[in-house]
Amino acid sequence: MLLSLSYEISGILNWELANCSISLSATSYCGVTSIPRHKFTGNSAGFIVFSTIYNEKYDAEGYIGYRPVDKMIYVVFRGSYSIANWIADLDYFTTPYPGCANCRVHLGFYNYEQSIIKDIIKDVISLQKKFPEYGVISTGHSLGAACASLVAADLIMAGIKTTLINFGSPRFANKELSEYLSTLIPSITRVTHHRDLVPHIPPALQGFQHISGEYYEDVDGSVRECSGYEDPTCSDQFTLSTSLYDHYFYLGVTMSCDTENNNITRKILEQLKYDAQKLSLRGGHY
């Protein structure tokens, strides 16, 4: 079951949109075959699915829809749980990013995003013609967060004003691209959770840098706005004692499907909890 807790919020974070985005991101783990039949409840109640996103080669999954209550179109991407996804995650090679001098992007993430972007642009344009007063949000968790960032940029370059709200994103850009996208995307909310391991990969030492817009959720659930690209008082304060377990919990929501369609992720969470408890007894971290 998805949980909704009260948190202390500072800065300009739009809490209503963030709540809906994290709920939709968790639902993405249900898989594209069940998304069209999914009953959206809680913070994403009233969401209507328009289309699903899928590419077999890169195992890319997500969905597009809209929510009349907040007049928003959401483009949602699933995070990693398949071997194909992890191969993409661990490929640290970069490739030039078009239209930006000296900009380079993580090759695996970029290939993943490029495999689905044409249909996404087409579907978002179709929805905007139907609902011209609606805004657009690109969102996702983990690998889905990196994809959401690249998609937000491509939507903007296609003439579609887009807001980015993502959770637990890995790095995917070099310094030049990070600065370019941070200027190109007008509204960025990049949420990190306490000691989450994933925002620390690929390593900064390999030339990667986060985009701006970080909001840091601490161990007590308080969320605060950070500064710059790699704020040393936020997620970046943890360089050694990171936690994979923290990656699966954001804003009070467990990052797994709220049905029985996602047993793989549930088993992973159970194993992580068991390992974390063992290491805690030994005085270590996971």
* Residues annotated as part of the active site: 142, 196, 247
Lookup: tokens for 202? 């690929």
Tell me which residue has tokens 């971290």.
Answer: 285
Answer for the pair 200, 209: CB distance below 8 angstroms, yes or no. Answer: no
Between β-strands 72-77 and 94-96, what pairing exists: parallel, antiparallel or unpaired? unpaired
Of the candidates 192, 190, 194, 168, the one whose C-alpha atom is nearest the C-alpha of residue 178 is: 190
Strands (E), the chain: 48-55, 60-67, 72-77, 94-96, 104-106, 135-141, 163-167, 187-193, 214-217, 223-225, 249-250, 253-254
Q: What count of other Cβ atoms lies within 10 Å of the Cβ of residue 69?
A: 11
Tokens of 285: 């971290």
